[in-house]
Amino acid sequence: MNVLKRFAADESGATAIEYGLIAVGIAIAIVTIVRGVGTSLNNSFTKINGNLR
C-alpha cells in the first residue's frame, strides 16, 4: 500500500511531460515564424529580380 501512495505522489514524470509539451510548442512557433519570414524574403527577392531585368 505504501508503494501505491508513493507512486501516486510522484510528479517527476508529469514534470518531464510538461517540459516536453513546452518544447514542442516553442518548436511549432519557431517553424511558423521562419516559414512566414521565408515567404516574405522569397517575395522580396522575386520583386528585386523582376526589377533588375
Q: In angstroms, rounded to a whole number, what is the distance separating the alpha carbons of residues 37 and 35?
A: 5
Q: In angstroms, rounded to a whole number, what is the distance separating the alpha carbons of residues 28 and 24?
A: 6
Cβ-based neighbour number of residue 38 at 10 Å: 10
3-class secondary structure, 29: helix
Taking the model in full, what pTM does it have?
Answer: 0.61
* C-alpha grid cell, residue 45: 527577392
**Per-residue pLDDT tens over the stretch 1-53:** 788 778 777 777 777 888 999 999 999 999 999 999 999 999 999 999 999 98
Amino acid 47: pLDDT: 96
